[in-house]
Structure 1
Amino acid sequence: MKTLSLVSGLLLFFFTATCSQTTEKGNMEYTGTIKEQGITSYQYGTHTLTTGNGFYALKSEAVDLDEYIDKKVMVVAEKIEGYPVDGGPEYLLVLKVK
């Protein structure tokens, strides 16, 4: 009986630890300049972020990205699954701007 309880406890511990790590890994920091997105061939995102080594389409439900147009910022974001499409860039959901 003690063995069953020990195994159950260990499984619960590993399941909980794995879930929290997955959430944290989804959030990344990107530093670059935000621009308003114009007409594009890939048709997703409201703004873009140009970094030293990448280009990303952005959207946010938590931050007004218009406040940061033409400013160099660090954003905390998570990649949106299913993108890129139509030759477009990675698509990020911005959670906050630093």
Structure 2
Amino acid sequence: MATATLTKVGNSMAVLLPKALRQEAAIDQDTPLRLASPRKGVVVITSMLDDEEDRLARLRRVEARIAARRNKIKPWPEGLTADDLIAQAKEERHRDFLAL
């Protein structure tokens, strides 16, 4: 759970949201927010990105990130275990070290 304090901004007050919380909530500086106070002492901040266009735009961004990561991932070699791959990597590092 994150904590924050109010900061005076002109005639208003602001709450600064920590980066980790913003990332967890998937909101950024352009995300419209809905503020509500259901009872005294409680403030609820909700993202308003619930319409179909916003969901579609977010889905496209996520798909693009997945595709970019997929291009960086090498396919798993058939017939090899994780132990085999680790042994190969160690052997390559050893050869590189000896080449120095």
TM-score by length of 1: 0.27
